[in-house]
Amino acid sequence: MKFSYFPGCTLKNKAKDLDRYALRCAEALGVTLEEIENWQCCGGVFTTAKDEIATKLSSVRILKAAKDKEQPLVTVCSACHNVVKQTNHAILTDKEFSDKVNRYMADDGRYDGSTEVYHYLEMLRDLVGFDALREKVKSPLSGKKIAAYYGCLLLRPGSVMKMDDPENPSIMEDMIRAIGAEPVIFANRNECCGGYVVMESPSLAEKKSGDIVRNAKVQGADMIVTACPLCRYNLMKNGADIPVIYFTELLAEALGVKEDTNE
Amino acid sequence: MQKITKEQLTEKAVSLLRDGTVTHVLGWSAGEFDYDITPAVFSDEASLRKSFVWNDFCGANFSKYLVSKTRGIEGKLLVFLKPCDTYSFNQLLTEHRFDREKVYAIGIPCEGMADIDKVKAICGDGISSVNCDGEKLLVQSIYEDAPISVSPSDVLAERCVNCKSKKHVAYDELMGEDGDVLDSARFDEVSRIEAMSPDERFLFWQNELSRCIRCNACRDACPACTCEVCVFNNPRSGVENKSPANNFEEQMFHIIRAFHVAGRCTDCGECSRVCPQNIPLHLLNRKFIKEMNECYGEYQAGETVGSKSPLTDYTLEDLEPGEVFDRGDINA
Amino acid sequence: MQVKEYKPLIVAFCCNWCSYAGADLAGNNRLNYPAEVKIIRVPCSCRVNPMFILRAFQRGADGVILCGCHPGDCHYTSGNYFTRRRMAMLFSMLDFLGIERERTRVEWVSAAEGAKFAATMTEFAEQVAALGENKRLEDLRCKK
Amino acid sequence: MQRIGVFVCWCGSNIAGTVDVAAVADALKNEPGVVFSTDYQYMCSQAGQDLIVSSVKEYSLTGLVICSCSPRMHEVTFRKTAAAAGLNPYMVEIANIREQCSWVHKEMPIGTEKAIILGKAAVAKVNLNAPLTPGESPVTKRALVIGGGIAGIQTALDIADAGFPVDIVEKKPTIGGKMAQLDKTFPTLDCAACILTPKMVDVAQHENVRIFSYSEVTDVKGFIGNFDVTIKKNARYVNEDICTGCGDCVTKCPQKKVPNEFNLGMDNRSAIYIPFAQAVPKVATIDPAHCTMLKTGKCGVCSKVCKAKAIDYTQKDEYITEKYGAIVVATGFDPISMDKFDEFAYSQSPDVITSLEFERLTNAAGPTAGKLLRPSDGEHPQKIVFVQCVGSRCDSCSEKGKEYCSKICCMYTAKHAMLTRDKYPDTEVYVFYIDVRTPGKNFDEFYRRAVEEYGVHYIKGMVGKVTPEGKKLMVRASDLLDGKQLNIDADLVVLAAAIEPDKSARSLATMLTASMDTNDFFTEAHPKLRPVESPTAGVFLSGTCQGPKDIPETVSQAGAAAAKVIGLLAKDKLKGNPCVASSDELMCNGCSSCEKVCPYGAITYEDKEFRMPDRTTRIRRVASVNPAVCQGCGCCTVACPSGAMDLRGFMNEQIMAEVDAICK
Amino acid sequence: MNKKYLRDDIIRMSGVNPKKCMRCGKCSGTCPAYDEMEYHPHQFVSMVENGDIEPLLSSDSLYRCLTCFACAERCPRGVEPAKLIEAVRLTAIRRQGANRLTPSDIPAMLDEDIPQQALVSAFRKYTK
């Protein structure tokens, strides 16, 4: 299996673990992730206003790059994934938007919305399969009680992301089960951590993230996994006294590729 | 230019007659001219070997003949079906018009049929024979010594130029290879007329329909027109009209006929093939097909047996009659 | 006899349960609409055969309007859904032949919509009158 | 050739004011077939009708044209007049020269001209009229009620009391339906079981009622007065006739870990079970999915302990066919699944429950013997949050909920809140509402009592998120009137789940050719005037299968449906509408186009033998219309390519004659 | 800009139909930033609908919305208040000199671990 891979800015900087382990695990699972050449920013956030065009073009270029290689596109960062998937959805469903975008795309060539966009987790579930994953596990993480924290960007808007039930998701829990650990379901797993508003109002982020960590702990978690660098930052910064790690790191541990191997 | 040969078909028919699989064979026999082929029923080997024909003028859609020719015979009737014929075959089965048990259907490939008018346009009148050397058509005229060689693609009938499918959707046995449903440009001419102004459309059809001599050939060849009693022959239908009473009647004839076959027409093109006045009647049917595809979803009559035509179906969200004119982006 | 001003002839097919009752209501409320409109009662709009419409045009009608219950309200549950498809196809064919699309119409009129009935008929009659006599169907065979 | 009489009515000045009636009568004299034409002040009066009768005699008339008011007004009157004169009632046509002429036009010449044309059209039609006789069909004097809830029970009782046999088909092992699961009923707070169970006993003991429990309808054929219904009696592995309902088998059954559906899975039952103490019929049923004997062949305890020897592990499903004259649908409702609403954490905490589960928790026969205890730890909840409109009143595009208001939730929530405060005054009760809808007798008073006397906190706003945390349920909600976001640490959250029609209704509707709306509620023949009849003749609607309803409404509709059924069964023969479709066999192609558009399934096909001109015979497939089923819409006539199908009373020829007369 | 124009523009930009709102308050019942806001999600819906937009434009509430989409996901009527808030915010910051965040503000906010994503997002949200 070969996919186009878009890491995004944070994964090459503050969230290197998310990127590094994603690639290693993919390799261990027999998946080739080809990083898109000369990639730019995903756009940061998907602006829902219909008249915002230019800020969405970088996402379109990512999609177009995957389309040119005739590969499905895989992303890991929740934010990038959200932006790219929403942009693709807008191209497919909003003709006016698609027409305007394609006027800008004259030099790169038309993009029609036909690239399939997968989050790394979706790739695991739908293309690799959790059963296949289970077979590849080298060191099952049995006994660990792990809370999967989704945040908002992975699941919402549900009608666009179509990743899982936005109120009762199971994709990360299923992954946790597949690698031998015990998932802890907590209601705040799909509540917002405070997001970028941490820049504007740190106290809001502190309260929201605090609630999330507390809820996870009360429900019995001894570790939280997430797919989002900003979520992780907010949770860590606001009093998480249990480990908060990227799901890829957890995966890498189970697949036995966490420690640096000699090339 | 046909890949399958007359000999292959004859041998097949003979062997099926011999082993008793069939008792009759529906095939083509020569008419007065090479290009003037007549459908015929054979019931013995000798007549088959003598008169059975297969060439580039065997355009007739045999499905319709099954309605009458399967009646009153013991045993089975062998029929050779070109891909387009198989759609009519299924449509007639959908409408319970003949007994499937009485038919042994052999699907045969078709490379497209020739249009004698196109041949005449190249070679002139007075054609005495048309043969095929495997590649080209050799047309012998009474005015010339040597035959004129014509490329089959230059004289392909309109409906074959826009062939919708080389795939057989029904058969008991297949000779040669099956093809695929094609991505044809068959609606282009309809779109061209739609793009005209109403006045231009009116003039176009006035020009075409004024030529109608009301010979009924279109109806008689149409595999969707198999009514026990045609409304135009029925004094109680209110539109009975056996001969042209006044100018107006005939034009109603074509609209009503198109409406009657709407949703059932497989777009076989027989109506235009047999029209002695070369009126492009198939465009009326194609207009309906195109319209129904666009408004109610793709539907190909005869693709499967038992399907429900768009006019015997509905959804709660269908377009309003007034809206069919305003759906600009559907046409785009 | 003085020369009459041109009045179009309009045939209105009305379903018994909704539109015919709507027309009656227009009468009950004394709502005027042009006398050129003549109503033929049918049990359901789906009873109207395209042949009837063509026949009306053939015999000199300048406009034909078909009224039925609103979609979803058919007395026979689904009749008007079939009407909607049939008439959409018929009108589109007439348009394809270059016949003025303004001469035909389908309107859903409920038994409570007397005012809508009168307004629709008035407006349709004006629309048809603006087109003048219905010549095209007849002339379709008369190449000049 | 017809001999037609034309009768032009003045209707006082209603017609004569704008139409020159004498001129109309005069003009129509010359129409083909007309032998007599006259006008009169009030044609519908006794004198007017006498005039018609005597004219028929005097001029040997065969057809009548009445130029008068709308046929919707007096068509029936004049048909009776015709019959009194010895004519077939269907030889009458009305030219509507009042509502559609004199009342909408102002000038006499215009009105007169139009009236003449309308008269001509009617004459043209009558010329082609043929006498029509309504078909008659016998009525099977037995009714079928599908569904044994309160709606079905009440309908069956009412029909049975009128002296007609009734069968109830109930898919569960007992009748009683949802009402049997309720604790108290609003607004009077009488105990549901106390008012329902006597009715269950009544119906079971009624000599005219048979109950097929644990059974379902699998096929319906026929038409009004003459339905043939196949009922599948599921194997319950217990001989109903000899089981005494003693319950020994239930107590001894070793498999006791089966979720008890009667208590909505909040406790367990055994594999052989009687749903509840007052079940009717009170016989045991073996659940084959959980019975060790049926699954592995090893056990047989129940068989050993049964003194009546009623256990039969070899019992098979049984099919019964029965004839009925009328069918009543009373299939009821279910609360919707809460799967898609997990912001309320229904799947995450046992202490988030639906209102129906709350009923069981407060019911003396429920899993907690009527004590309100938290499902998670059996403790008494101190703080309860009720959430209204969960899944009701959603956007039409919503994939989660329903667009309609479920109607009963406001009242039962007020009841739950009130009863909780009554029994446990120390419990704090919050009700989050969007609107409180209480239209009904003593309903709003009831709700006000919950607030004013019982101190229930009604908060205008909606709960946005429920977060289980330890033993508590953290409820985040808005209080719109105070402009606050509330965070309540509740012990129990109760969701007023929307209700939807029972899932079995869709397939049943197909069998019955009864129509449904997009929400799968059965549609009524007319929303105002025929609310308990389905558009399919002979099929009636009772209870929530037609739309959300509370118990009083359900019972009154059940009685109304019964009255309609009794009215039908009281007749020996049914007269149909003679204006039905009929197919000319000689022209029919047997193509099935008509069948595909018929909304009533009135058209069937048969292979018929025809003699050909050459004296051979030919077998052809031809359509045949069942006149008792056909309602006369005429859709088939247009679908028919050959014109074989025509509609009596509205023949192609007749309508075209009208067109011609108008366009002349 | 007049009231009506502003209102229509915001509705068009957001693609939200505020008329579908049935005033249930679930958006505000679920909003994680509720306490930080002067105007709450349900008020955005009704105030935009009423053309009462200036108070919204000058309120800090615009910058407290997390765009977490909980309101949009849970709205029974499919109204999507988050989109409306975003449209109002864009209307505000698109005005001249109205950028909420400037590059010179950033250094003070930085800490060692803050992911780039936070900066990019905040800039998108707060700056023209």
Instruction: Give the residue from E73, E117, E121 with the most A CB atoms within 10 Å of its CB, the best one to mutate.
Output: E117
Q: How far is B223 from chain D (nearest CA, A)?
A: 13
* B263 within 8 A of B290, measured Cβ to Cβ: no
Q: Is the pLDDT of residue C3 over 60?
A: no
> Nearest CB to D467: which of A167, A168, A215?
A215
Number of residues in chain D = 664
Determine whether the interchain pair A187/D470 forms a contact, defined as Cβ–Cβ distance below 8 Å. Answer: no
Q: Is the dihedral of CA A243, A248, A249, A252 positive or negative?
A: positive
Chains with ≥3 CB–CB distances under 8 Å to E: A, D
pLDDT tens digits, one per residue of D363-406: 999 999 999 999 999 999 999 999 999 999 999 888 889 999 99
Which range has the worst mean pLDDT, B74-78, D156-160, D173-177?
B74-78
Considering only CB atoms, which chain C residues are within 8 Å of B209? 140-141
Residue E101 Ramachandran class (φ > 0 left, ψ -120 to 50 alpha, else beta): beta
> Nearest CB to C55: which of B238, B258, B310?
B238
E54 alpha carbon, distance to own chain's centre: 13
**What CATH code would you report for D235-316?**
3.30.70
**Residues A203 and A103 grouped into a single domain:** no
For D4-127, give the CATH class. Answer: alpha beta
Arithmetic mean of pLDDT, D472-487: 96
Residue B329's pLDDT is 41
D and E in touch (3+ CB pairs within 8 angstroms): yes
When pLDDT is cut at 50, 70 and 90, the band that residue C58 belongs to is: confident
Residue A260's pLDDT is 63
Structural domain D141-226+319-332+502-575, CATH architecture: 3-Layer(bba) Sandwich (3.50)
Determine whether the interchain pair B231/D642 forms a contact, defined as Cβ–Cβ distance below 8 Å. Answer: yes
When pLDDT is cut at 50, 70 and 90, the band that residue C1 belongs to is: very low
Nearest Cα neighbor of C63 from C129, C4, C111 is C129
Which chain D residue is nearest to residue C25, measuring alpha carbons? D99
Q: Look up the CATH superfamily of D334-499.
A: FAD/NAD(P)-binding domain (3.50.50.60)
Determine whether the interchain pair E115/A233 forms a contact, defined as Cβ–Cβ distance below 8 Å. Answer: yes
User: Token digits for A191?
Assistant: 């509540």
Residue B251's pLDDT is 65
Residue pairs between chains B and D whose CB atoms are closer than 8 Å: 63
DSSP letter at D1 equals -
Q: Is the pLDDT of residue D80 over 90?
A: yes
CATH topology of domain E3-95: Fumarate Reductase Iron-sulfur Protein; Chain B, domain 2 (1.10.1060)
Chains with ≥3 CB–CB distances under 8 Å to A: D, E
* D85 within 8 A of D66, measured Cβ to Cβ: no
The amino acid that residue D515 corresponds to is S
Determine whether the interchain pair C98/B200 forms a contact, defined as Cβ–Cβ distance below 8 Å. Answer: yes
Q: Is the Cβ of A214 closer than 8 Å to some Cβ of chain D?
A: yes
Determine whether the interchain pair D597/B312 forms a contact, defined as Cβ–Cβ distance below 8 Å. Answer: yes
Rounded CA gap, B17 and B20, in Å? 5
Residue B1's pLDDT is 66
Rounded CA gap, C48 and C60, in Å? 18
Q: How far is D205 from chain B (nearest CA, A)?
A: 46
Determine whether the interchain pair C84/B207 forms a contact, defined as Cβ–Cβ distance below 8 Å. Answer: no
Rounded CA gap, D442 and A126, in Å? 56
Does A157 fall in a domain? yes
Range of the domain at A78: 2-120
Q: Is the pLDDT of residue B171 over 60?
A: yes
Which chain B residue is nearest to residue D619, measuring alpha carbons? B71
Residue pairs between chains A and D whose CB atoms are closer than 8 Å: 32
Determine whether the interchain pair D589/B316 forms a contact, defined as Cβ–Cβ distance below 8 Å. Answer: no
Side-chain-side CA neighbours of residue C2 (13 Å): 3
**Residues A145 and A85 grouped into a single domain:** no
Rounded CA gap, A152 and D536, in Å? 50
Residue A43: CB partners within 8 Å, gap ≥ 6? A55, A56, A58, A59, A83, A87, E124
When pLDDT is cut at 50, 70 and 90, the band that residue D250 belongs to is: very high
Does A69 fall in a domain? yes
Q: Is the Cβ of C81 closer than 8 Å to some Cβ of chain D?
A: no
Residue D233's pLDDT is 97
Rounded CA gap, A83 and A87, in Å? 6
Rounded CA gap, A38 and A192, in Å? 32
The greatest distance separating any two alpha carbons of chain A, rounded to the nearest whole angstrom, comes to: 55
Tell the burial category of D121 from Cβ atoms under 10 Å away from its Cβ (0-12, 13-18, 19+): buried
Q: Is the pLDDT of residue D145 over 90?
A: yes
Compare D208 and C113 and report the one with higher pLDDT.
Answer: D208
Instruction: Compute the mean pLDDT over every residue in chain D, rounded to the nearest whole number.
Output: 94
pLDDT tens digits, one per residue of D166-214: 999 999 999 999 999 999 999 999 999 999 999 999 999 999 999 999 9
Q: How far is D481 from chain A (nearest CA, A)?
A: 24
Residue pairs between chains A and E whose CB atoms are closer than 8 Å: 136
Q: Is the Cβ of C60 closer than 8 Å to some Cβ of chain B?
A: no
Q: Is the Cβ of D477 closer than 8 Å to some Cβ of chain E?
A: yes
Does A261 fall in a domain? no
Determine whether the interchain pair D655/C32 forms a contact, defined as Cβ–Cβ distance below 8 Å. Answer: no
Q: How far is CA D387 from CA C118, D36, D349, D416, E59, in A?
A: 49, 75, 16, 12, 32
Residues of chain D with CATH 3.30.70.3270: 581-648
Does A200 fall in a domain? yes
When pLDDT is cut at 50, 70 and 90, the band that residue B331 belongs to is: very low
Residue D396's pLDDT is 80
Which chain E residue is nearest to residue D434, measuring alpha carbons? E24
Residue D163 Ramachandran class (φ > 0 left, ψ -120 to 50 alpha, else beta): left
Rounded CA gap, D461 and A230, in Å? 32
**What CATH code would you report for D581-648?**
3.30.70.3270
B and D in touch (3+ CB pairs within 8 angstroms): yes
Crossing angle of helices B198-209 and B247-261, rounded to 10°: 100
Rounded CA gap, C26 and B158, in Å? 54
Alpha-carbon Rg for chain E in angstroms: 15
Side-chain-side CA neighbours of residue A71 (13 Å): 20
Q: Is the Cβ of D434 closer than 8 Å to some Cβ of chain E?
A: yes
When pLDDT is cut at 50, 70 and 90, the band that residue B250 belongs to is: low
The amino acid that residue A88 corresponds to is N
Residue D137's pLDDT is 85
Residue B242's pLDDT is 65
- Write out residues 161-190 of B within 8 Å (CB-CB) of D: none
Beta bridge mates, D212: D169
Residue pairs between chains B and C whose CB atoms are closer than 8 Å: 129
Residue D289: CB partners within 8 Å, gap ≥ 6? none
Considering only CB atoms, which chain A residues are within 8 Å of D341? 167
Q: How far is CA A214 from CA A154, D352, D618, in A?
A: 21, 21, 85
Nearest Cα neighbor of C114 from C25, C20, C19 is C25
Q: Is the Cβ of E19 closer than 8 Å to some Cβ of chain D?
A: no
Nearest Cα neighbor of C101 from A166, B202, D564, E24 is B202
Residue B174's pLDDT is 94
Residues of chain D with CATH 3.50.50.60: 141-226+319-332+502-575, 334-499
Q: Is the Cβ of A177 closer than 8 Å to some Cβ of chain E?
A: no
Collapsed DSSP state (helix, strand, coil) of residue B269 = coil
Does A132 fall in a domain? no
**Residues A148 and A184 grouped into a single domain:** yes
User: Token digits for E74?
Assistant: 């849970």
DSSP strands (E only) in chain A: 2-6, 32-35, 73-75, 117-119, 145-148, 182-184, 223-226, 244-246
Residue ranges of chain A whose pLDDT lies below 50: 262-263
Q: Is the pLDDT of residue E1 over 60?
A: no
> Nearest CB to D643: which of B95, B231, B313?
B231
* B242 within 8 A of B309, measured Cβ to Cβ: no
pTM of the model: 0.72
Please report, for the domain that includes residue A246, its CATH number.
3.40.50.11810
Collapsed DSSP state (helix, strand, coil) of residue D246 = coil
Arithmetic mean of pLDDT, B203-213: 90
Q: How far is D395 from chain E (nearest CA, A)?
A: 4
Residue D189's pLDDT is 93
**What single string gives the DSSP state of each residue in D398-446?**
-SSS-SS--SSHHHHHHHHHHHHHHH-TT-EEEEEES-----STTHHHH
Instruction: Give the residue from D104, D116, D118, D642 with the most C CB atoms within 10 Å of its CB, the best one to mutate.
Output: D104
Q: Is the pLDDT of residue D507 over 90?
A: no
Place of tokens 């015997």: B312
* C105 within 8 A of C124, measured Cβ to Cβ: yes
Residue D453: CB partners within 8 Å, gap ≥ 6? none
Which range has the worst mean pLDDT, A124-133, D552-561, D569-578?
D569-578
Q: How far is B67 from chain D (nearest CA, A)?
A: 11
Torsion angles phi and psi, residue A46, rounded to 5: -90, 110
Instruction: Compute the mean pLDDT over every residue in chain B, rounded to the nearest whole number.
Output: 89
Considering only CB atoms, which chain D residues are within 8 Å of B228? 586-589, 620, 642, 644
- From A120, A154, A171, the end of a domain falls on A120
The amino acid that residue D149 corresponds to is G
> Nearest CB to A51: which of E13, E116, E125?
E13
Which chain B residue is nearest to residue D657, measuring alpha carbons? B238
- Write out residues 32-71 of A within 8 Å (CB-CB) of E: 41, 43-45, 47-52, 55
Residue D648's pLDDT is 95
Residue E109's pLDDT is 83
The reply to whether omega before A157 is within 30° of 0 (cis) is yes
Structural domains in chain C plus CATH codes:
10-139 (3.40.50)
Residue B330's pLDDT is 40
The amino acid that residue B268 corresponds to is C
Q: Which helix (H) or strand (E) holds B257?
A: helix B247-261
Residue B172's pLDDT is 95
Q: How far is D378 from chain B (nearest CA, A)?
A: 51
Q: Which helix (H) or strand (E) holds C139?
A: helix C136-139
